[in-house]
Chains A and B, each alone.
Chain A
Amino acid sequence: MAGKTLFDKIWDAHVVDEIKDGPSVLYIDKHLIHEVTSPQAFAGIEKRGLKVFRPQNTVATPDHNIPTVDQHLEIKDQLSRFQVNKLTENCNRHGITLYGLSHPFQGIVHVIGPELGITQPGMTMVCGDSHTSTHGAFGSVAFGIGTSEVEMVLATQCILQPKPKKMRVNVEGELSKGVSAKDVILYIISKMSASGGTGYFIEYAGSAIRSLSMEGRMTVCNMSIESGARGGLIAPDETTFEYIKGREFAPKGSDYDEAVKKWKKLKTDDDAVFDAELNFDAADIEPMITYGTNPGMGVKISSHIPEESKIEKSELLSYQKSLKYMGFAAGEKMVGKAVDYVFVGSCTNGRIEDLRVVADFVKGKKKADNITAWIVPGSKQVEKQANEEGITQILEEAGFKLRQPGCSACLAMNDDKIPEGKLAVATSNRNFEGRQGPGSRTMLASPLTAAAIAVTGTIIDPKTLL
């Protein structure tokens, strides 16, 4: 019998029951909730007269619709305030741990899970947010779910889920200077397309993936969903164990040693078979940027928007519609385009390493006059660390301002909206039409690229400035 993949091992160890020609009943170790996709789920279980089955396995924080200024004041927007208050009420009533706006652990749900040591190898994790795949960086099976499924987890700590197919994406070799985890994943998605991963769960492997820090691995796994894949994971190793050690909810002392022994077994068997396998050469990856309106429409910054003749027939309408929306022309070069906004933040690139990259680059420089830059840390912990490391001061001297933690302009549910027609370079995960505000135009890139563009005011390959 062929060996098992890491994904199989974790999934199979959590199957409570199987339905013939149907989904598996999958047990969920950790459930994260936020204000936007949970209220209807709480209303659902209460309508049935149920209590939350395992309140200790759920952790809550508000992140999606909260303001990123004056967080100590009452939220001005009535609907947002109501939704955030509803989360507090629901958590209080059901005994769920909540890191509210004033709590030092508050932040974007996918930033706080790892930084608090809640996320651990071998777990199953879900959240009503598609970027739950972030937690796969630790070798856990983590994926986004809808609100009906949030209700299932609250009611039974399980969900019904068909088992996805398995894909392995190998990136071998050494990444060149100026190329970051964000470029790696934008490159992979540009090769797979925005739907190439649909139906699959990805394992990222190879020496280039191994060389990434935990935060880099989170960036890669975070964007798995942008290829259509339900999630992505990376086998845990010493980098993982070192990162977890000493964190708030990580096992301590001999418990930690025991846990590491178990975690070390979490890897794909040599003879395991994947349903699909892709191989990429790290040397071919350069700083990337998107030109269209889905994350699969990425190119090397130094290159051009593809000519129409290079686009597959089935993608042609989508491509033409995208370019029309973006105001770009086929074959145009990316470098030199004037940019209006730079957004550094989100569950993709709002961690301390991301802010460090920006600070290192802009130190002693000034932002361009035509650029409005929003730097939004992913959590209160990141914000605190940025203050302690002097990052806040460096950014302020360069003309940037650090805002308060939240999802912010990634999805523009709060006031952080890119105005209609304006062109933004964002370190977040989606460049859909109007994603950052009605009529806004988004190009996705790495924190280093975003920093370089903030200083020059136009699209530039950061490699030329290093």
Chain B
Amino acid sequence: MPSEKFTYIESTAVPLNIENVDTDQIIPARFLKATTREGFGENLFRDWRYDRNNQPKADFVLNDNKYKGTILVAGKNFGSGSSREHAAWAVHDYGFKVVVSSFFADIFKNNALNNGVLPVQVSAEFLDLIFGEIEKNNKTIVIVDLEKQEIILKESGKKENFEINSYKKECLLNGYDDIDYLLNLKDKIAAFEESK
């Protein structure tokens, strides 16, 4: 899916201070029966967000009006478990453009990048710092600058660099798509098959 271009985000953030958030929490399996990519946002974190009678749970952060924004900040090992890309679609469809954590599961990371959602991996110390600042001030502005590979806390000016491979960075900055890239290699792929 060709994604929109991603360059720079400045937003308040939603803190989800839970570790090992697995894909069954991000989007439970019973919501995977759709055959399109749209509409998964309404079931993002479904069983943490709603009770059995489909009423919002007041103690869950997405139901707390204090916290808004396009940046989700989550505990260590975000996106573990299943390969369901529906998890990345749900995060994207809900409106998040960035997920910040100190550690991401591999498949989720790829899936997010393939859908224009930027996983920003920071040190455990910096993650604690972000959670701390948001706790003190829910209006804390977080800046994610992909070109410079920097995440900055606007008020305090504290910042950290993050890693992304240069190919994926180009893809995000320009809205390129892996499939376009691969389609240009078809002759090479056919030649590879011949040589096997």
Q: Hey, which bits of chain A sit against chain B, CB under 8 A?
A: 16-17, 19-23, 25, 27, 36-37, 39-40, 43-44, 48, 50, 53, 64-65, 77, 79-80, 82-83, 86, 128-130, 132, 144-149, 151-152, 155-162, 164, 194-195, 198-199, 225, 228, 230, 294, 314-315, 317-318, 321, 411-413, 420, 430, 432-435, 438-439
Query: Do B189 and A16 touch (CB < 8 A)?
Result: yes
B111 touches A228 (CB 8 A): no
Can you list 18 pairs linking A and B with CB atoms under 8 Å apart?
A: A20-B166, A22-B165, A36-B32, A53-B186, A64-B32, A80-B33, A146-B84, A146-B114, A149-B114, A156-B186, A199-B106, A228-B80, A228-B105, A318-B19, A411-B29, A411-B82, A430-B82, A435-B29
Least CB distance, B4 to chain A, in whole angstroms:
15
> Which of A65, A83, A152, A318 meets B182, CB within 8 Å?
A152
Instruction: Indicate if B22 sits at the interface (CB-CB under 8 A).
Output: yes
CA distance A148 to B107 in the complex (A): 11
In the bound complex, do residue B77 and residue A146 qualify as a contact, i.e. CB atoms below 8 Å apart?
no
Contact B80 A194 (CB under 8 A): yes
Whether B65 is near chain A, meaning CB under 8 Å from some CB there, is: no
Distance A207 CA – B77 CA, assembled complex (angstroms)? 32
Set A22, A37, A157, A321: member contacting B168, Cβ < 8 A: A22
Q: How far is the CB of B100 from chain A (nearest CB, A)?
A: 17
Residues of A within 8 A of B110 (CB): 145-146, 149, 161
Indicate if B52 sits at the interface (CB-CB under 8 A): yes
What sequence of 0s and 1s flags, for each residue 15-45 of chain B, a beta carbon within 8 Å of any chain A beta carbon? 0011110101100111011111100000000
Nearest B-chain residue to A296, judged by Cβ: B20
CB distance from A283 to the nearest CB of B (A): 30
Top 4 A-B pairs ranked by shortest CB distance? A22-B167, A146-B85, A79-B33, A39-B35
- Measured between beta carbons, the chain A residues less than 8 angstroms from B17 are 317
Chain A residues, CB < 8 A from B37: 40
B83 in contact with A146 (CB, 8 Å)? yes
Complex Cα gap A412–B30 (Å): 7
For residue B119, CB closer than 8 A to chain A, the reply is no
Q: Pick the most buried of B17, B36, B77, B82: most chain A CB atoms within 10 A of its CB.
A: B82
Which range contains the number of B residues in contact with the other chain?
A: 35 or more
User: What 0/1 readout, one digit per residue, does chain B (157-196) give for beta carbons within 8 Å of chain A?
Assistant: 0000000011110000000001101110110110011000
Using CB atoms, name the residue of chain B closest to A23.
Answer: B167
Given contacts A86-B35, A314-B76, A438-B28, contact A130 B82 (CB under 8 A): yes
Whether B81 is near chain A, meaning CB under 8 Å from some CB there, is yes
Contact assessment for B52 and A158 in the assembled complex, using a CB-CB cutoff below 8 Å: no
Q: Choose from A17, A151, A294, A317 the contact partner of B179 (Cβ within 8 Å).
A: A151
Using a CB-CB cutoff of 8 Å, which residues 52-105 of chain B contact chain A? 52, 75-77, 80-86, 88, 103-105
A146 and B36 contact, CB distance less than 8 A: no
Chain B residues, Cβ within 8 Å of A412: 29-30
CB of A259 to closest CB in B, whole Å: 14
Chain B residues with Cβ below 8 Å from A148 are 1, 85, 111, 114-115, 178-179
In Å, the complex CA distance between A147 and B106 comes to: 14
Contact B19 A16 (CB under 8 A): no
A36–B115 Cα gap in the complex (Å)? 18
Please name all residues of chain A whose beta carbon is closer than 8 Å to the beta carbon of B30 when the two chains form the complex: 412-413
For residue B145, CB closer than 8 A to chain A, the reply is no
A44–B106 CB distance below 8 A: no
Whether the Cβ atoms of A130 and B33 lie closer than 8 Å is no
Complex formed: what's the CA distance from A412 to B29 in Å? 7
Q: Indicate if the CB atoms of B186 and A413 lie closer than 8 Å.
A: no
For B24, give its contact among A53, A132, A195, A430 (CB under 8 Å). Answer: A430
State A438–B81 Cα separation when bound (angstroms): 17
| Chain B positions within 8 Å of A321 at CB level | 18
Q: Besides A195-B80, A433-B47, A438-B52, 4 other CB < 8 A contacts?
A: A79-B33, A80-B33, A130-B83, A148-B115
Give chain B nearest CB distance to A131 CB in angstroms.
Answer: 9
Using CB atoms, name the residue of chain B closest to A200.
Answer: B106
Supposing A146-B85, A194-B80, A434-B28 touch, asked if A25 and B1 sit within 8 A by C-beta, the answer is: no
**Given the complex of chains A and B, what is the CA–CA distance between A261 and B129 in angstroms?**
57
Contact residues in A for B18 (Cβ distance below 8 Å): 317-318, 321
Selected from B52, B103, B167, the residue in CB contact (under 8 A) with A19 is B167
Contacts of B32 in A (CB 8 A): 36, 64-65, 413
Alpha-carbon separation in the docked complex, A230 to B105 (Å): 9
Chain A residues with CB under 8 A of B86: 147
Q: Given A411-B29, A438-B28, A438-B47, A25 and B185 touching (CB < 8 A)?
A: yes
Closest Cβ–Cβ distance, residue B196 to chain A (whole Å): 8
Closest-CB distance, B79 to chain A (whole angstroms)? 10
- Supposing A145-B83, A148-B114 touch, asked if A230 and B106 sit within 8 A by C-beta, the answer is yes
From known contacts A21-B165, A318-B20, infer whether A146 and B105 are also in contact, taking CB-CB under 8 Å.
no
Contact of A21 with B167 in the complex, beta carbons under 8 Å: yes
Residues of chain A within 8 A (CB-CB) of B181 are 160
Cβ-defined contact, A432 with B81, below 8 A: yes
B35 CB to closest chain A CB (Å) equals 4
Candidates A152, A198, A433; contact of B106 at CB < 8 Å: A198
On whether the beta carbons of B107 and A145 are closer than 8 Å, the reply is yes
B115: chain A residues at CB < 8 Å are 148
A434/B24 in contact, CB under 8 A: yes
- A315 in contact with B25 given A37-B85, A156-B189 (CB within 8 Å): no
Asked whether A79 lies within 8 Å of B34 as measured between CB atoms, the reply is yes
User: Bound complex: CA of A420 vs CA of B53, how far in Å?
Assistant: 13
Give every chain B residue within 8 A of A21 (Cβ-Cβ). Answer: 165-167
The answer for the CA separation of A321 and B84 in the assembled complex, in Å, is: 24
Tell me whether A194 and B34 are in contact in the complex, defined as CB-CB below 8 angstroms, given that A413-B29, A432-B25 are known contacts.
no
Which of these, A86, A130, A145, contacts B81 with CB under 8 Å? A130
Given A40-B37, A146-B107, A149-B110, answer yes or no on A16-B80 (Cβ-Cβ < 8 Å): no
Selected from B1, B33, B103, the residue in CB contact (under 8 A) with A413 is B33
Is the CB–CB distance between A158 and B76 below 8 Å? no
- What chain B residues lie within 8 Å of A195 (beta carbons)? 20, 76-77, 80, 103, 105
Q: Are A44 and B179 in contact, CB atoms less than 8 angstroms apart?
A: yes
